[in-house]
Amino acid sequence: MKVEGSVKTVILGEIIFPILLLVFGIYHGLMQALYRAGIIKDMSFLGIEYYQGLTLHGVINAVVFTTMVIVAFGNAVFLYYLKKPLRPAVQWVSFLMMVIGTLMAAWAMFTGKANVLYTFYLPLVAHPAFYIGAALLLVGSIIPLFFDWAPNYIAWRKEHPGEKVPLAVFGVFVNHIMWVIMLVPVVITVVFQMIPLSLGITQEENVSLSRTLFWAFGHPLVYFWLLPAYTMLYTILPKIVTGDGKLYSDSAARFAFILFILFSFPVGLHHQFTEPAVTNNYKLIHALFTFGVAVPSMLTAFTVAASLEYSIKQKYPEVRDSLFYWWTKIPYISLEGDKWLVSYFMAGLFLFFVGGITGIVNASYNVNLVVHNTSFVPGHFHTTVGGLVTLSLLGISLYMVSKLMGKDIRFKGLAVLAPWLWWQGMLIFEYAMSVAGIHGFPRRTNAGLSYLNPESPLYRPEWVGYAELSAFAAFIIVLGFVFWAVSFFGTILSPKVREETLEFPTASALHDEKAPALNRLTPWFTVSVLLFVLSYLPALYDVTKRGVFFDSPGYNDKNPVPITKPQ
Ligand code: HAS
Ligand code: HEM
Ligand code: CU
């Protein structure tokens, strides 16, 4: 379909702007890995210090890049599947808010006024520009939901009584409503705790409360990143794997999304198992719910595998009787049509398999105490958000840009190899970080200057090899990213060869049951919000027992965290 000019510009902007920043974010990933291995002694040529770089890396890669590309994908999905125009004014307001907000936060981070890491909970305090910038980015990202997607969704349902909304629209819509709900707690801590402390209006704040409110947002946030990838796995992957493949079950897909609505929220305390202020029992309840929220991912693993198996066996009768041999027919490296995208999804799925296992390790309360705050945790999330999620977003960005600009994908060979290099690099990175983590290698520490430096009294030789292995892995990942970037920017800069269009390959479902309960969102969201509130009331009571507004001064560049020097 054709897309109206200025809406197209916005969607392209929502892809290209964060990707320009991502180049810096990825560069900093490499710098960090080198620094942690003691290979470089200074963080970068730009004079950025360790925590500043870590903040930039986390915020750019995990917050800005993901959010903006997810909004671009959502806009494109709504346009293509509902065939209803988006309002240019709404789109521009949303886009400009996200860009201005990002630039404000970037200014604060680059000038060293916001070394608060991407999990910006107290007691670390940033310049107000960081918070206001973050708020603009987040509010900008929900504007399309209220003023474009929801009205179009409602109108479509009126025009198509009794029909199911297209699955991709269902996935994107559910995800964005969850996004709005999870923003509530983080907005409360930003507006009532962080900004007043940052402006000097208050002198101290309740840190446990801030952490609890942050993680009530911080965990569901990871599903805000994940569900767009799942939407692609359910709708695009089965179709392109053979050219005419099918999704095994539409209801299984919708059921998985609904389980995410229910279980994404009452789990945030699994980030706070070591939080002194909260009673153990409440943490255990969140740990159990966390096992619950792994179920829709397992369901997804089975539905995706079943879709691949069915589609491949339909196309290639010779593997019909095989148990595993059909795996060899998946076009892992194919230049034909849209099949190049398969490599992004498959490489991502292989990584996510590991991410799922390490996630369950993290979630297992007492086992968490072994890995918490060690490099095991970055190992886990570079195969989830840095694995399946990033690869899906990189793949779909290249796909959307080529369609919307009417251009052929340039350097397609590089584009197909890129995700496999990324996969290989991340797998080694994950191995090195996880094993080192089990040996106690900490995350978020100036490791290069202490634990890995033979002159330091803190020197730990058993971590050195793993840190060096992760630096080696970082080079492979960066090479993968360079391959992707050559193809991406090569495509953008190449001449237009076709009409500009927008379309997504979409698999129809083999089992396409009506299942009306799975298409009504209000009851599920009502139960979800109730569960969210109930699961958090006891913890909130615990952390505010001794008062709501007290506790600790904030730490920032003028009032740094007191650091104990090694003896
Ligand atoms: Fe996590 C920490 C638990 C999923 C991201 N997680 C983090 C942090 C991030 C993150 C960024 O319970 C760090 C936060 C910080 O800075 O402190 N996580 C889980 C669990 C899951 C999980 C139980 N995480 C994610 C996803 C993320 C993400 C998704 C981003 C997108 N995570 C934790 C916990 C912590 C944590 C604790 C706190 C740790 C600490 O101590 O600080 C589950 O949702 C995972 C379920 C997934 C599965 C896998 C299904 C498999 C699939 C692939 C199938 C493959 C196929 C191909 C078909 C059950 C879908 C064939 C392949 C073959 C190999 C056969
Ligand atoms: C942290 C490497 C890509 C998200 C880190 C750390 C390293 C690293 C070494 C620091 C761990 C520490 O000192 O505690 C890399 C490399 C990458 C890469 C080599 C690719 C070349 C990504 C991507 C994402 C991502 C694509 C997400 C989309 C994060 C986050 C953190 C992190 C959220 C945690 C920051 C914090 O603790 O505050 N990365 N990374 N990284 N990375 Fe990456
Ligand atoms: Cu979590």
Q: Is the pLDDT of residue 4 over 80?
A: no
- In this prediction, residues 455-459 reach a mean pLDDT of 83
- Indicate the pLDDT class of residue 560, thresholds 50, 70 and 90: low
Residue 300: CB within 6 Å of ligand 1? yes
DSSP character string of 527-561: HHHHHHHHHHHHHHHHHHTT-SS-SB--B-SSSPP
Nearest to 228 by CA among 305, 170, 141, 164: 170
Report, as an integer, the average pLDDT of 60-87: 97
380 catalytic residue (yes or no): yes
User: What is the Cα–Cα distance from 331 to 333, expressed in whole angstroms?
Assistant: 5
Q: Binning pLDDT at 50, 70 and 90, where does residue 567 land? A: very low
List, for residues 202-230, the tens digit of each pLDDT value.
888 889 999 999 999 999 999 999 999 99
Residue 566's pLDDT is 46
Q: How many other CB atoms sit within 10 Å of the CB of residue 453?
A: 16
Of 259, 334, 318, nearest to 291 by C-alpha is 259
199 pLDDT band, cuts 50/70/90, is very high
Question: Using 50, 70 and 90 to split pLDDT, how confident is the model at 514?
Answer: confident
pLDDT digits (tens, 9 = 90+) for 351-378: 999 999 999 999 999 999 999 999 999 9
| Confidence bin at 44 (pLDDT 50/70/90) | low
pLDDT digits (tens, 9 = 90+) for 136-164: 999 999 999 999 999 999 999 999 998 99
Q: Assign 450 a pLDDT band (cuts: 50, 70, 90).
A: confident
To test the pocket of ligand 2, the residue of 22, 69, 382 to mutate (highest count of ligand atoms within 8 Å of its CB) is 382
* DSSP letters for 465-488: HHHHHHHHHHHHHHHHHHHHHHHH
As for the ipTM of the complex, it is 0.98
Sign of torsion over alpha carbons 172, 173, 176, 178: negative
- Tell me if residue 372 is catalytic: no
Q: Which ligand is nearest to the CA of 372?
A: 1
> Closest Cα to atom 10, ligand 2: which residue?
32
424 compared with 456, residue with greater pLDDT:
424
**pTM to 2 decimals?**
0.96
4, 5, 11, 12: CA torsion to nearest 10: 140
pLDDT at 527 over 60: yes
> Does the pLDDT value for residue 548 go beyond 80?
no
Residues 6+ apart with CB under 8 A from 222: 381, 384, 385
Residue ID of nearest Cα to ligand 1 atom 47: 356
Helix, strand, coil share of the chain (percent; to 5): 70, 0, 25
pLDDT at 563: 52
By alpha-carbon position, which residue is closest to atom 17 of ligand 2? 29
Least confident piece of the model among 21-25, 269-273, 518-522 = 518-522
Q: Is the CB of 61 under 6 A from ligand 2?
A: yes
Q: Is the CB of 43 under 6 A from ligand 2?
A: no
pLDDT greater at residue 46 or residue 31: 31
In the structure, what pLDDT confidence band is assigned to residue 284 with cuts at 50, 70 and 90?
very high
Atom number of ligand 1 nearest to Cα 293: 44
Over residues 129-141, the mean pLDDT reads: 96
Ligand 2 binding pocket includes 117 (Cβ within 6 Å): yes
Would you say residue 183 has pLDDT above 70? yes
Helices (H) and strands (E) in the chain, counts: 19, 2
Catalytic site residue from 310, 443, 483, 536: 443
Question: pLDDT tens for residues 458-487?
Answer: 888 999 999 999 999 999 999 999 999 999
List 444, 460, 489, 549, catalytic entry: 444
Which residue among 211, 254, 382, 410 is the active-site one?
A: 382
